[in-house]
């Protein structure tokens, strides 16, 4: 998983293609990410003990990580991410377009 929460990503597949939004949560095990305002579905809910009011709620559903591209904070272009081990031994993400480290 090369994405983290608070990353800005570009959606490249699906209904929300072309949208840029912030990653809210990552699910490395499922290789999915929850992106703000992307892949929103309407759910019809019945009144239950917790939810007294029946109706329709709108909710984001996590999308496949391969359907979004990270937007580089340096060159502001959608990019693929490489990982590089820095001099101090920590792993960093590197933009394949401008070679800058992405925080
Ligand atoms: Zn870049």
Q: How far is the CA of 60 from the centre of ligand 1 (A)?
A: 28
Q: Could you identify the residue written with the tokens 């239950």? A: 48
Which of these, 95, 26, 97, lies nearest to 65 by C-alpha position? 26
33-44 as b/e: b if 16+ CB within 10 A: bbbeebbeeeee
Give residue 89's pLDDT.
94
Q: How far is the CA of 40 from the centre of ligand 1 (A)?
A: 29
Is the full-model pTM beyond 0.85?
no
Mean pLDDT by 10 residues, the chain (103 residues): 93 96 97 96 83 84 96 95 92 94 89
**Taking ligand 1, which is a single-atom ion, which protein residues have CB atoms under 5 Å away?**
72, 74-75, 95, 97-98
Give residue 103's pLDDT.
81
Give residue 57's pLDDT.
87
């Amino acid at each position: 998983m090369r994405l983290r929460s608070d990353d800005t990503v570009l959606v490249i597949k699906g209904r929300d293609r072309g949208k840029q939004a912030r990653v809210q949560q990552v699910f490395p095990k499922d290789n999915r990410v929850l992106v703000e305002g992307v892949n929103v579905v309407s759910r019809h809910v019945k009144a239950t003990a917790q939810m007294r009011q029946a109706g329709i709620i709108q909710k984001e559903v996590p999308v496949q990580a391969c359907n979004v591209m990270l937007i580089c904070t340096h060159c502001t272009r959608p990019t693929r991410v490489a990982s590089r081990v820095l001099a101090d031994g920590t792993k960093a993400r590197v933009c394949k377009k401008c070679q800058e480290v992405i925080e």
